[in-house]
Amino acid sequence: MKVDGTHRRSLWPADGRDALFVIDQRRLPHECVVARLEDLAAVDAAICQMTVRGAPLIGATAAYGVALQMNADAGDAALDLALQRLAATRPTAVNLRWALERQAARLRPLAPAVRADAAWDEADAIADADVAVNRALGAHGLALLRTLQRQHAGRRLNLLTHCNAGWLATVDWGTALAPVYLAQAAGLDLHLWVDETRPRNQGASLTAWELGQQGVAHTLVADNAGGHLMQRGLVDAVIVGCDRVSARGDVANKIGTYLKALAARDNGVPFWVAMPLSTLDRRVSDGLRDIPIEQRDAREVTHLGGRGADGVVVEVQLAPDGTSALNPAFDVTPARLVDALITERGVVPATAEAIAALTRAAPGPADDG
């Protein structure tokens, strides 16, 4: 997508295959800065510290992390250590495991001497496929939006989104925002309510920034405003991304997603989840019980970062000294509250049967595991 009018991906390899460039998402929206990652340790830190974040982007970044390690040492022990180290960076988004398993399957049968080239090829393939998958998912989502617009003919569509599931969370296009970008290109009149998404504020800092860059009409709202907007008839659909979806359709996504789904159901508002098949975990059925939920630093809740009037980005304390805080980063929305899963192979209900049929329909990422 575009940054200041120039097309960018959220990550790209150096020409010499000796580094990975990523947009440093911790610096947005105040500056768009590119970070150069030169080894496994730098990739590990970039994922842990959320220089990069978003399920598909974490997976692609980790795949390049393996490639960087193969440049340094392509022996069996080094490969296994790299896979283990990267797998431990963040627990909830399953795309990480999916990408590492792809690298493992590609590299383990090879002699160490040829592993580095193969690892870079595989990482490039994962990144390119992510772009194509999101574009395809976006086209299916666009069809849903066209139907919605026919139901509300003659007026602007209002969508609500939570967290950031745009191009910054993927290699390009995004998941939940891919249909939005295609709808904008197709001339549909739409507007997004953007949840701020405490505590990391991905909505305020990332979604608002990228929608602004693409010229999509949007309004930032406090996380607690969604239910009220739905009661007033100001939300035509909720569209979110996901970090892991279980085989029966339970959806792990950014903390607060579940409350939006409850409010949507109570108000008869469709609740849609954009799910590339790399985010499906067929090994988990009961997502509420078995999807691991990342617990992050309490300081993300007690403190807040932002730009002061002097232009300097600072952190301020919100809570009294010594306040204890809990910071679960994700929640799980039960499948019964999900009206549609938008995938690269079409739109399906969030049921075990529909998901199984979808993954049988053609070979692809979810069939690998």
CB proximity list for 109: less than 8 A, separation 6 or greater: none
Identified catalytic residue from 172, 195, 243, 331? 243
Active site residue 266: no
Span of 169-177, 185-193, 284-292, 304-312 interacting with ligand MRU by CB under 6 A: 169-177
Could you tell me which of 128, 96, 65, 102 has the C-alpha nearest to residue 279? Answer: 96
Distance separating alpha carbons of residues 340 and 350, to the nearest angstrom: 6
**Residue 364, interface with ligand MRU (CB under 6 A)?**
no
Question: C-beta of 357: minimal distance to ligand MRU in Å?
Answer: 23
**Residue 243, interface with ligand MRU (CB under 6 A)?**
yes
- Choosing from 47, 242, 301, 337, the residue that interacts with ligand MRU (CB under 6 A) is 242
Residue type, 125: A
Backbone angles phi, psi at 21, to 5 degrees: -100, 135
Span of 29-37, 106-114, 222-230, 235-243 interacting with ligand MRU by CB under 6 A: 235-243
Compute how many other C-beta atoms are within 10 angstroms of the C-beta atom of residue 102.
Answer: 22
Residue type, 261: A
Which of residues 115 and 200 has its CB atom nearest to ligand MRU in the complex? 200
Which of residues 174 and 365 has its CB atom nearest to ligand MRU in the complex? 174
Question: C-beta of 147: minimal distance to ligand MRU in Å?
Answer: 23
Which of residues 54 and 287 has its CB atom nearest to ligand MRU in the complex? 54
- Choosing from 61, 202, 246, 343, the residue that interacts with ligand MRU (CB under 6 A) is 202
Span of 77-85, 162-170, 315-323, 333-341 interacting with ligand MRU by CB under 6 A: 162-170
Question: C-beta of 329: minimal distance to ligand MRU in Å?
Answer: 5
Beta-bridged to residue 22, according to DSSP, are 11, 35
Distance separating alpha carbons of residues 160 and 206, to the nearest angstrom: 15
Q: What is the DSSP letter of 291?
A: S
Which of residues 172 and 243 has its CB atom nearest to ligand MRU in the complex? 243
**Residue 59, interface with ligand MRU (CB under 6 A)?**
no
Instruction: Report yes or no: 287 and 245 within 8 Å, Cβ to Cβ.
Output: yes
- Site residues for ligand MRU, 39-58, by CB under 6 A, read 53-56
Instruction: Report yes or no: 41 and 78 within 8 Å, Cβ to Cβ.
Output: no
Longest dimension (CA), the chain: 63
**230 in helix, strand or coil?**
helix
Question: C-beta of 80: minimal distance to ligand MRU in Å?
Answer: 25
- Peptide bond preceding 276 in cis form (omega within 30 of 0): no
Distance separating alpha carbons of residues 119 and 261, to the nearest angstrom: 39
- Choosing from 11, 43, 133, 165, the residue that interacts with ligand MRU (CB under 6 A) is 165
User: What's the burial of 39, exposed, middle or buried (CB within 10 Å: 0-12/13-18/19+)?
Assistant: middle
**260 in helix, strand or coil?**
helix
Residue type, 331: D
C-alpha distances in Å from residue 276, one per residue of 175, 201, 241 = 7, 23, 9
Question: C-beta of 26: minimal distance to ligand MRU in Å?
Answer: 11
Closest-by-Cβ residue to ligand MRU is: 241
- Site residues for ligand MRU, 86-105, by CB under 6 A, read 93
Which of residues 105 and 222 has its CB atom nearest to ligand MRU in the complex? 222
**Residue 160, interface with ligand MRU (CB under 6 A)?**
no
**Residue 337, interface with ligand MRU (CB under 6 A)?**
no
Span of 31-39, 119-127, 239-247, 314-322 interacting with ligand MRU by CB under 6 A: 239-247
Q: What is the DSSP letter of 303?
A: E
Q: Which residues bind ligand MRU (CB under 6 A)?
A: 53-56, 93, 163, 165, 169-170, 174-175, 202, 241-243, 253-254, 329
The catalytic site residues sit at: 243
